[in-house]
């Protein structure tokens, strides 16, 4: 089965073509251009290099979140459009799981994406089997401390939130470095995660693909703050009664 895998969840874009679990082609782009500019040319180049057409693809894999809201929508919309004509099965995979599938070895990998405001989207995975150790979460980076202390070693961080994690936990025992050039998401990781999803019977028709944002957008958070402000201002201050000492 031919798999076309796409990642647009972060700053970089990645595309891969796999035949089963064998990688045929992979590309990665982190040039600063928008995904709307780079993604479809990358897909065209991947298919041309493999001598394939969209009709030859048996499964589409795409990162469904967490990640950049705009980036996720671009990737999901592209896959829906490509898969719609043949109603080809699709696998919307966790961005964090896809990051983990791009690495192997012994120990633990923590996939982390910069969620701003001192927070990261993160999850831990067993390297040898890619078994999930924690659910995807959006938390302050300090919240990882207990997991990092107690998890199987060695351990390293990947994703665009890796630098924040390394800076916070640089003195942790059993922590291995991961070069910045090897921390980004790989199309192959998306493809392998999509294959695992398909084999587990979790693939969906293209119309059922949905993003998994894991938290409110900035606009929604700001609106909630604006709506909460009048209510807070209208609440009368509590009266503190002091005992009179005679």
24-80 confidence digits (pLDDT tens): 999 999 999 999 999 999 999 999 999 999 999 999 999 999 999 999 999 999 999
Asked, as a colleague might, if the bond just before 53 is cis with ω within 30 of 0, I would say no
Is residue 240 predicted with pLDDT exceeding 70? no
pTM of the entire predicted model: 0.88
Please say whether the dihedral angle defined by the alpha carbons of residues 195, 197, 199 and 202, taken in this order, is positive or negative.
Answer: negative
Pick the CATH number of 2-97+185-218 from 3.10.310.70, 1.10.10.10, 3.20.20.70, 3.30.420.40: 3.30.420.40
Q: How many CA atoms lie within 13 A of 50 on its CB side?
A: 25
Beta bridge pairs of residue 14 = 7, 28
Is residue 218 predicted with pLDDT exceeding 70? no
HEC profile of the chain:
CEEEEEECCCCCEEEEEEECCEEEEEEEECCCCCHHHHHHHHHHHHHHHHCCCHHHCCEEEEEEECCCHHHHHHHHHHHHHHHHCCCCCEEEEEHHHHHHHCCCCCCEEEEEEEEECCEEEEEEEECCCCCECCCCEEEEHHHHHHHHHHCCCCEEEECCCHHHHHHHCCCCCCECCCCHHHCCCCHHHHHHHHHHHHHCCCCECHHHCCCCCCCCCHHHHHHHHHHHHHHHHHCCCCCCCCCCCC
Where in the chain do CATH 3.30.420.40 domains reside?
A: 2-97+185-218, 104-182
* 3-23: average pLDDT: 97
CATH 3.40.50.720 at 104-182, yes or no = no
Is residue 224 predicted with pLDDT exceeding 60? no
């Amino acid at each position: 089965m031919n798999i076309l895998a796409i990642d647009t969840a972060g700053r970089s874009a990645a595309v891969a073509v796999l035949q089963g679990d064998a990688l045929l082609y992979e590309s990665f782009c982190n040039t600063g251009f928008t995904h709307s500019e780079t993604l479809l040319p990358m897909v065209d180049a991947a298919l041309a290099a493999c001598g394939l057409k969209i009709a030859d693809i048996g499964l589409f894999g795409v990162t469904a979140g967490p990640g950049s809201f705009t980036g996720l929508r671009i990737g999901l919309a592209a896959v829906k459009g490509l898969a719609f004509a043949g109603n080809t099965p699709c696998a919307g995979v966790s961005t964090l799981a896809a990051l983990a599938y791009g690495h192997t070895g012994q120990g633990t990998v923590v996939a982390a994406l910069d969620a701003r405001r001192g927070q990261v989207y993160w999850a831990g995975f067993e390297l040898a089997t890619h078994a999930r150790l924690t659910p995807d979460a959006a938390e302050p980076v300090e919240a990882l401390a207990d997991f990092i202390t107690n998890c199987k070693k060695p351990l390293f961080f990947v994703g665009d939130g890796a630098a924040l994690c390394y800076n916070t936990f640089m003195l942790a025992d059993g922590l291995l470095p991961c070069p910045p050039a090897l921390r980004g998401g790989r199309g192959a990781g998306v493809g392998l995660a999509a294959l695992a999803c398909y084999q587990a019977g979790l693939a969906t028709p293209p119309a059922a693909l949905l993003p998994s944002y894991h938290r409110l957008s900035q606009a929604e958070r700001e609106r909630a703050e604006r709506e909460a402000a009048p209510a807070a201002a209208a609440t009368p201050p509590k009266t503190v009664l002091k005992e009179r000492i005679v």
